[in-house]
Amino acid sequence: MIPEDIKKEYEELKKVIEKHNYQYYVLNNPIISDTDYDKLFKKLLQIEKKYPEIITADSPSFRVGGKIISEFKTVQHSIPMLSLDNTYNENEIIDFDNRVKRLLNKENVEYSCELKIDGISIALKYENGYLVQAITRGNGISGDDVTDNVKTIRSIPLKLSEDVTIEVRGEIFMPKKEFLKINEYRESEGLQVFANPRNATAGTIKLLDTSEVAKRHLDSYIYYIISPENYNITTQIDALKYLKKLGFKINENTKLAKNINEVIEYWKYWTENKAKLNYDVDGVVIKVNSFEEQQILGNTARSPRWAIAFKFPAEQAITKVKDIKYQVGSTGVITPVAIFEPVFLEGTTVQRASLHNFEYIKERDIRIGDYVKIEKAGGIIPQVVTVLTEKRTGNEIPIEEPKECPVCGGKVGKLNPEEVAIRCLNPLCKAKLKRNLEVWVSRDAMNIQGLGPKLIDRMVEAKLIEKIPDLYKLDHFKLATLGHGIGPKMISNILQQIENSKNRGLDRVLYAIGIPNVGKKIAKDLAKKFKTIDNLMNANYDELLSIEGIGEDIAQQIYDFFKDPHVKEIIEELKEAGVSLTYETEENTEGVFSGMTICATGELERMPRSKLKELIEKNGGIFKDTVTKKLNLLVVGKNAGSKLQKAQKFGIPIMTEEEFFEKYKI
């Protein structure tokens, strides 16, 4: 039994946390500090861990993800999600207005003007105020059920302010800042970058790991209600007000235009000012404001007659590729960067653009001396759209892959034949060291505050640090030799931060040290599996491959990394410096599931799969996402799939969700 005071506290916590989510993610007006918010959220999670049966569909804990989705189901839309006709010029928008007025037999029509967000369309269904389904546009007739992923988007309410049953539609998008961060990370890892925020959003919403979706901080704007007459709403502007009242995030830049001239003024304003927004827009959506008039106008086979997308003209510029420079990342990835003749584009002067990798250059046949057409992906990142081959003189110089590292002169190559990235293979490369140190001191790694890129650069150039362990050999005297801006108090703080970092644990070290394609999750899995750095360094290929999520290529890269004599030397020096290279765990090895490996399949009703995983691990067990012959138990929910058949084939014990909780009483 759950005590009544706990139930009351839990309900109040849910309300308070969602209120602060709304203030922060919808209104952009936080009223408490991040620390205070984290305390509230931690308290909620503590209650859910102790009383898992208390978890409800509107729990804010769903926001962090954790569920692994086997596949997306195709669902038919209640009514088709139609496309919009497009126009790019004022004459055509005036023609649209004349056509609307003629069909309505009116001299003037009011329009709602809304920014056209460049993301992906989504349909959201709520029953009695609770989010029950989220469907992508798909082909307009049916789309994919992405409910679990959408629940991680904090601007989309899990429960509305009213207990209504309603379907709404809107746009999910990736803010420009998040887009930049993701592409910077992907480029540093030698992964293919996203072309624009829309592509990044589309890729994110189809990820099978909801915790990865949560990390990418998608956002939303909702703008449409199915059957608005059911809620006594008569205009689009009033619909937006009602959506806001229910708790949805609506775009505050919407305007009611009294006539087509005001529509054109709105379009002109945002044509000039769209770059100031933190999200990508590619035009303005014009809708007849009255729903009654929308009904009269009706639809064609593919689009409504009462709405049109008034697109912004694509801003591009022509410039010349003067040179190619190379950047070397923390894992040695060599990124070619085009240096342009300066050109003004969307409010800034552009002089350079990443060409990402040498496959990208080959596909577009970019050469030094070429005239190219450029634009800003997502309005922020300059990119080459096309080469103007007709302007070639014959003096252009093809761009060759480097034969040696442009920084240290060391060997270069690929870690495997399928990889697009070319890397510096010298472990002591200065450029790699700088980038590697930036990762090492970052919050998710060793969390050494006060060491930014500029200070790291100065320390490397002054040869105070020539490899990572040198960080732990710094003292007051060495730091004082850097001179300007480095005072006694700052030196003491830095040395204390470095000392504190020694006890972060093996998982942080493995993430920080620069193993190719090893992020936080794989680093944690490696640490959990091997417990000490020596065990990991002595692991064979098959042991690495046995870890879920590690494929053949990554297993080989990890194996090769720790066989490198330079890496072995760094590990030994880290040991001598007193850096903890063991994994400390609080897992209960005496619990009810001690020695058991458990998997779950189907739709669980008592709690999300991520919570079940926590519960099993807390009680000494191991939770797996796949069915193997070594599995001790499969827990089965509704609509179980291929995992159930596989478990039956292997003769693995199977329990329903009810049987599982009845037997183990946890």
CATH of the domain at 37: 1.10.287.610
Binned at pLDDT 50, 70 and 90, residue 379 comes out as: low
With beta carbons less than 8 A apart as the criterion, state whether 428 and 463 touch.
no
Q: Where are the alpha helices (DSSP H) in 414-475?
A: 430-440, 453-461
Unique residue bearing structure tokens 């956002």: 219
Q: How far apart are CA 548 and CA 626, in angstroms?
A: 8
The contacts of residue 186 (CB under 8 Å, 6+ apart) are 192, 193, 194
Gap between the Cα atoms of 566 and 155, Å rounded? 47
List, for residues 610-643, the tens digit of each pLDDT value.
Answer: 778 878 877 878 888 778 877 889 998 887 777 8
Distance, in Å, from the CA atom of 121 to the CA atom of 222, rounded to the nearest integer, reads 10
**Annotated binding residue 38:** yes
Sheet strands side by side (includes 120-127): 130-136, 120-127, 166-173, 219-225
164 and 298 in a common domain? yes
Both 383 and 477 in one domain: the answer is no
Closest CA to 580 of 522, 493, 500: 500
In the chain, how long is the greatest CA-to-CA distance? 86
Domain at 355, CATH number: 2.40.50.140
Which residues have C-beta within 8 Å of that of residue 420, sequence separation ≥ 6? Answer: 190, 192, 357, 358, 359
Query: Is it the case that residue 586 has pLDDT exceeding 70?
Result: no
First to last CA, the chain: 12
Tell me if 606 is assigned to a ligand binding site. Answer: no
User: Are 165 and 183 within one domain?
Assistant: yes
Q: How many domains are there within the chain?
A: 6
**CATH number of the domain encompassing residue 271:** 3.30.470.30
Q: Kind and range of the H or E element at 244?
A: helix 236-246
What tokens appear for 631 in the block?
Answer: 């599995």
- How far apart, in whole angstroms, are the C-alpha atoms of residue 651 and residue 645? 10
Does some domain include residue 586? no
587 has pLDDT over 60: no
Distance CA 314, CA 283 (A): 10
In a domain, 261, yes or no: yes
- The domain boundary, picked from 530, 547, 577, lies at 577
83 annotated among ligand-binding-site residues:
yes
pLDDT at 371: 95
The reply, when asked if residue 161 is annotated as ligand binding, is: no
In sequence order, which ranges of 415-513 are alpha helices (DSSP H)?
430-440, 453-461, 476-480, 488-500, 506-512
Domain boundary among 280, 311, 342: 311
- Could you give the CA distance from residue 523 to residue 14 in angstroms, rounded to a whole number? 33
3-class SS of residue 405: coil
Q: Are residues 602 and 459 in the same domain?
A: no
Percent of the chain with pLDDT over 70: 96
* Distance from C-alpha of 231 to C-alpha of 242, rounded to nearest angstrom: 9
Taking CA atoms, 163 is separated from 126, 127, 157, 605, in Å, by: 9, 8, 12, 21
Mean pLDDT of 147-153: 93
Tell me: do 103 and 216 sit in the same domain.
Answer: yes
- pTM for the whole thing? 0.57
46 plus 179 within the same structural domain:
no
pLDDT band for position 226 (50/70/90)?
very high
What is the pLDDT of the chain when averaged over all its residues? 87
DSSP string, 505-549: -HHHHHHHTT-TT--HHHHHHHHHHH-BHHHHHT--HHHHHTSTT
Where in the sequence is the domain holding 643, given as residue range(s)? 597-664
Contacts of 70 (CB under 8 A, 6+ apart): 208, 601, 641, 642, 643
147 domain-assigned: yes
* CA–CA separation, 331 and 357 (whole Å): 14
* 88 annotated as ligand-binding: no
Tell whether residue 352 is among the known ligand binding residues.
no
Q: Phi and psi (nearest 5°) for 262?
A: -70, -30
Between CA 86 and CA 332 the distance in angstroms is 45
User: Is the model's pLDDT at 296 over the cut of 80?
Assistant: yes
The residues carrying an active-site annotation are 116
319 annotated ligand binder = no
Q: Pairing between strand 255-257 and 281-288?
A: unpaired
Pair (287, 343) in one structural domain: no
Q: pLDDT value at position 370?
A: 94
Span 331-374, pLDDT tens digits: 788 889 999 998 877 767 788 898 888 888 988 999 999 999 99
For residues 126 and 379, which has the higher predicted lDDT (pLDDT)?
Answer: 126
The alpha carbon dihedral of 535, 537, 541, 546 has a sign of: positive
Residue 582 lies in a domain: no
pLDDT value, residue 439:
87
67 pLDDT above the threshold of 80: no
Q: Domain holding 470: CATH number? A: 1.10.150.20
Distance CA 279, CA 284 (A): 14
Place of tokens 């009483």: 665
Which pLDDT value is given to residue 220?
Answer: 96
Considering the domain architecture, whether residues 252 and 104 belong to the same structural domain is answered as yes
**Any binding-site annotation on 388?**
no
What CATH number is associated with residue 605? 3.40.50.10190
Between 124 and 618, where is the model more confident? Answer: 124
> 144 to each of 64, 84, 134, 168, 571, how far by Cα in Å?
21, 21, 8, 16, 47
Whether 193 and 323 share a structural domain: no
Domain boundary among 292, 311, 330: 311
Distance CA 5, CA 200 (A): 44
CA distances from 218 to 151, 462, 464, 624, 661 (A): 11, 42, 41, 28, 35
> Hey, is 109 helix, strand or coil?
coil
HEC letters along 184-199: HHHHHCCCCCCCCHHH
Closest CA to 69 of 660, 602, 630: 602
305 — pLDDT class (breaks 50, 70, 90):
very high
Distance CA 1, CA 349 (A): 65
**Is residue 443 domain-shared with residue 359, that is, in the same domain?**
no
Q: Residue 268 domain-assigned?
A: yes
Same domain? For 189 and 206 the reply is yes
Residue 176 sits in the same domain as residue 196: yes
List the single range of 98-107, 208-217, 543-552 with lowest mean pLDDT.
Answer: 543-552
- C-alpha torsion sign, points 383, 388, 391, 397: positive
pLDDT at 630: 78
Is 412 within a domain? no
- 40 inside domain: yes
Answer yes or no: is 34 a known binding residue: yes
Q: What angle do CA 588, 591, 592 make, to 5 degrees?
A: 155
Q: Is residue 190 pLDDT above 70, yes or no?
A: no
Whether the CB-CB separation of 189 and 517 falls below 8 Å is answered with yes
Segment 436-483, tens digit of pLDDT: 888 899 888 898 988 888 899 899 888 899 889 999 999 999 998 888
Does a structural domain hold residue 91? Answer: yes
User: Could you tell me which of 199, 218, 253 has the C-alpha nearest to residue 146?
Assistant: 218
Alpha helices per DSSP H over 331-378: 358-364
pLDDT class of 189 with cuts at 50, 70, 90? low
Within a 10 A sphere around the Cβ of 385, how many other Cβ atoms?
A: 13
- Which is higher by pLDDT, 337 or 69? 337
Distances (CA, A) of 431 to 192, 332, 471: 21, 8, 16
Q: Is 562 helix (H, G, I), strand (E, B) or coil?
A: helix
